[in-house]
Each structure stands twice: as structure tokens, then as C-alpha cells.
Amino acid sequence: MVEAKKDVVADYNGYDYKKIFWEDTDRKYEDMADRMAIRRLLPQQMDTFVDIAGGYGRLADEYLPRAKSATLFDYSKTELAQAREMYGNKIKTQPGDIYDLPFKDDSFDALMMIRATHHFKEMQKVSDELYRILKPGGIAVIEVANKKTLPKMVRYWTKKSEINPFSRDVAHLKDLNSDGFYNYHPKYIEEVFQKSGFKIKKVLSVSNFRSAKLKKVFGTKNLVRMEKVAQKALAPIRFAPSIYYKLEK
């Protein structure tokens, strides 16, 4: 995904993210949960749109019918090349640095950034850049890796983890790989967005049933039916591992 060249947490150049992460694993439920949220939050019509950290364009078919002009931005040239193979001239591609986006001020009517925040060490800088490239009145749909989930609470209460899910401190989960990932408390990330100037218009709780055990017990179709209700119902308590925000400049 996208990260500053000076501090790359996850460089997907040369890595087949499409095949290894999505096609070779059981993540159909997660994919459908993402799409459900995007359909609920993204504007129906957009003149100019950019998918930030959009990888190979997994979700492009959700926004291409809505946008007159769509751009896919990512750090990984490998993924952008895959996107060009899949979509041709239907989508523009742009590599670059998330902390210094190669777009002019007020460039886009709308943007989205999905499954990317866990790679970013400095979310305030990222949020400020996203705000900068949006036109006044523009909409941003951003997914955030949630620190305050029930499994993380249980691990903390049972002393299996030292990370306090109730603290607003950013969680750096170094045990996951050599670089780790970042998770954010909802109140912390909402303050970040507001400091940039965003207005929070809507919130959804997404991928509420992200569990291998639940998939085996209920199956993908049943989980998706449950997800349809849960995204709105559980939004006030920010329950899920993915929290979606609809923001307005």
C-alpha cells in the first residue's frame, strides 16, 4: 500500500497482493462487507474521484460507474500495473508518496481510502493531505483499523496483550511482522479528521464478524446478511475491526 518513501511500512512492489491476500484466502465476506459500506457512503455521481492506496483496483467497479473521471493512486507500481491490465483506459493511475500527494489543491469531488490506515505512522499528515486535495464540499470515505474491538478487549483483560484498547494512544502491533501495523482508537482518529477540517457526516461499523470460526459456523452468505444490519446498528459503539467514515470538506 502507500507510505512515505522515507518510512515505508509496507512496500508492495513485487508482491502479488491480489492473488496472495485476496484470491488465495477466504476473504469473500470481508470483500463484500467493504463493498456494502462503500455503496452506502460514496456519492452516486462524481466528476473527479481518486482511490487513495487503492492497490490493484479491487474496488474499482464500485466507483467507476459513478465517476466521470477516476484516478487510482498507490505506492506500489506493481499493483498499478495490474490495475492497468484489468481496466485499461477506464482508470488513470498515479504512483507517489502518501505524505506528499502529487495532486493540486482542490482536485477531486470525492475520494476513498480503504484498508490503508494501518500502514501509516503519521495519520495527521495523511488526513491533512486528503483534505487538501478535496474540493470544498467534497466527500472522503475512509476506512480505519480500529483499536477498540471486543477481541482486543478480551486479550487485554486476560493479560494476553499489553495494548490497552481503551487508551487513545496509537497501537503499534509489532508482533504481526517485522514492521508491524497501526491501529487507532475511534476518538483519536475522529480528532485527527476534525483537526484537518473535516466534518464527520456518517459512520459505519464494518466487517463485524471477521472470524474464521464464524465463517465455518454461519457461512459467508449468512454473515453478509448479518453484516447488512450490523453496519448501522453497531456504528454508535464503533465495534468492528474496520470503522468507515464519510467525511465532508
The pLDDT of residue 1: 44
Grid coordinates belonging to 100:
506528499
The pLDDT of residue 153: 87
The pLDDT of residue 193: 98
The pLDDT of residue 2: 42
The pLDDT of residue 83: 93
Calpha distance 192→205 (Å, rounded): 19
Please compute, for residue 229, the number of CA atoms within 13 A of its CA located in the half-sphere on the CB side.
4
The pLDDT of residue 14: 63
Buried b (16+ CB within 10 A) or exposed e, 35-67: bbbbebbbeeebebbbbbbbbbbbbbebbeebb
Tens digit of each residue's pLDDT (9 = 90 or more) over 123-146 = 999 999 999 999 999 999 999 999
Q: Which helix (H) or strand (E) holds 48?
A: strand 46-52
Walk me through the domains of the chain, giving residue ranges and CATH numbers. 5-248 (3.40.50.150)
Which residue ranges in the chain fall short of pLDDT 50?
A: 1-6, 8
Tens digit of each residue's pLDDT (9 = 90 or more) over 189-207 = 999 999 999 999 999 999 9
The pLDDT of residue 180: 63
